[in-house]
Amino acid sequence: MNKRENSISMNGKKKKRSAVSERLLSLICFLLIIICWCVGSYGGMVRDIFLPSPTAVAGKIIAMAKDGSLWANCWESTLRVLVGWFWSAVAALPMGMLMANSRKISAFVQPIIEFARYLPVVALVPLTLLYLGIGETQKYTIIFLGTFFQLVLMVCDTVAGVDSNMINAAKTLGAGKMQIYKEVIFPAALPGLMDDFRLTIGWAWTYLVVAEMVAADNGLGYMILRSQRYLATDTIFAGLILIGLIGLVTDFLFRVLSRIVAPWYDRLTDK
Binding site for another protein (CB under 8 A): 163, 165-166, 168-176, 179, 183-184, 187-188, 190, 262, 264-266
Closest CB 261 distance from another protein, rounded Å: 9
User: Helices 54-67 and 2-42 sit at what angle, rounded to 10 degrees?
Assistant: 100
The answer to whether 257 and 194 are in contact (CB under 8 A) is yes
The C-alpha atoms of residue 36 and residue 203 are separated, in whole angstroms, by 28
**Residue 271 DSSP label:** -
Closest CB 167 distance from another protein, rounded Å: 9
Q: Which is nearer to another protein, 26 or 165 (CB)?
A: 165
Q: 3-state DSSP call for residue 161?
A: coil
Cα–Cα separations (whole angstroms), residue 37 to 27, 139, 157, 266? 15, 34, 41, 38
| Residues written for the chain | 271
Q: 3-state DSSP call for residue 232?
A: coil
